[in-house]
Amino acid sequence: MSAVAIHALPGRGILAPSPRPAARAMPAPSFDSVALPHLDAAYNLARWLMRDPADAEDVVQDALLRGLRYFASFAGGDGRAWLLRIVRNVAYDRLAARRGLATLPLDAGEDEGSLADTLRDPGDDPETAAGKIEERARLDALLAALPVEQREAVVLCDLEELPYRVIAEIAGVPVGTVMSRLWRGRRALARMAKAGGA
């Protein structure tokens, strides 16, 4: 039983509970405080889903605009999961819109750097740096070969280190589906790596 302070009302002689002080309301979070700490994760997911850095930047920008426009409907909770879900939806919308359209990369122009521009690590000799680039390109190719649902699960779990529950919230599927996609994706990666001579 909670203790209540009783006091006499002036001029009435009646005892009544003392009024409680008004509770302070927590200020609502700002869009900046919810979304901006997770921009790297948003770009990383978009890059893996879109397979193109420029498209990924566009997806993140559109996702931030969509998030800002509908921020009033943000119910609190995990801002990272909220933003990554928006990024996922924007990426899937773009993938669906361009389905059936094949794009081929153009030859590197004057604006783009050469392979030497990517070897900036002064600690590595050229052979080691080239080996790292080849390994990264191989991993990128293996991930890119996965179906988008499996690639999404692997990226969010293994690269972004999100728990299954959060991935399920982002993808809008049950946790069991996340676990299944992750298992199938990892198995496919291992099979492809073994077939490639790893």
Output the pLDDT for position 23: 54
Distance CA 156, CA 168 (A): 10
Write the CATH number of the domain with boundaries 126-198. Answer: 1.10.10.10
Label residue 155 exposed, middle or buried (CB < 10 Å: 0-12, 13-18, 19+). Answer: buried
- What is the distance between the alpha carbons of residues 180 and 169, in angstroms, rounded to a whole number? 15
Q: Which sequence spans correspond to the domains of the chain? A: 29-98, 126-198
> Would you write out the chain's pLDDT as a tens digit for each of its 198 residues?
445 455 445 555 555 555 555 556 666 788 888 888 889 999 999 998 998 999 999 999 999 999 989 888 888 888 899 999 999 999 999 988 887 665 544 445 555 554 445 444 456 667 777 778 888 888 888 888 999 999 999 999 988 889 999 999 999 999 999 999 999 999 999 999 888 754
Cα–chain center distance at 125: 34
pTM: 0.54
Domain spanning 29-98 has what CATH number?
1.10.1740.10
138-173: per-residue pLDDT in tens?
A: 888 888 899 999 999 999 998 888 999 999 999 999
- Give CA separation, 146 vs 20, 26, 97, 185, 189, in Å: 60, 44, 20, 7, 8
Query: What is the identity of the amino acid at 91?
Result: A
Assess whether the region 29-98 and the region 126-198 belong to the same CATH fold: no
